[in-house]
Amino acid sequence: MIAARLIVIASRVIQRQFHELLTRSGIVTDVFSGQKHTLYSLRHTAICMRLVLSGGQVNIYTLAKNAGTSVDQIERFYASKLPLSKELVKNLHSFGGGRDE
């Protein structure tokens, strides 16, 4: 019980520190969606950036495994909302063309 309570306290401290960092940086809300940034939104950003910055050369299976999600989830909730070129789509469907990242 004590360990569970400490986890709750640590989580609140991290949330407060994250919110303070966002406030000081002037980025509490997303400029495009108007939604507040959360720690969880960092996961979404990391997945999207990996897809885009890799030019589709990321191994989507490995990305899904590292992010604790499925290839289906990445395709439906992340890749579908990105500006995808034909080459990017082709690369993603080939599981990154053999590169393991």
Global pTM exceeds 0.85: no
> What is the C-alpha separation between 38 and 35, in angstroms, rounded?
9
Q: What is the DSSP string of 30-80?
A: -TTT-PBP-HHHHHHHHHHHHHHHTTT-S-HHHHHHHHTS-HHHIIIIIGG
Per the model's pLDDT, the better-predicted residue between 95 and 73 turns out to be: 73
Q: How confident is the model at residue 11 (pLDDT cuts 50, 70, 90)?
A: very high
Q: Is the pLDDT of residue 98 over 70?
A: no
Q: Where are the domains of the chain?
A: 1-29, 38-101
Question: Of 51, 66, 65, which is closest to residue 96 (Cα–Cα)?
Answer: 51
Per the model's pLDDT, the better-predicted residue between 29 and 51 turns out to be: 29
Beta carbons of 31 and 47 less than 8 angstroms apart:
no
> What pLDDT is recorded for position 59?
84
Q: How confident is the model at residue 95 (pLDDT cuts 50, 70, 90)?
A: low
Q: Tokens in use for 12?
A: 């609140």
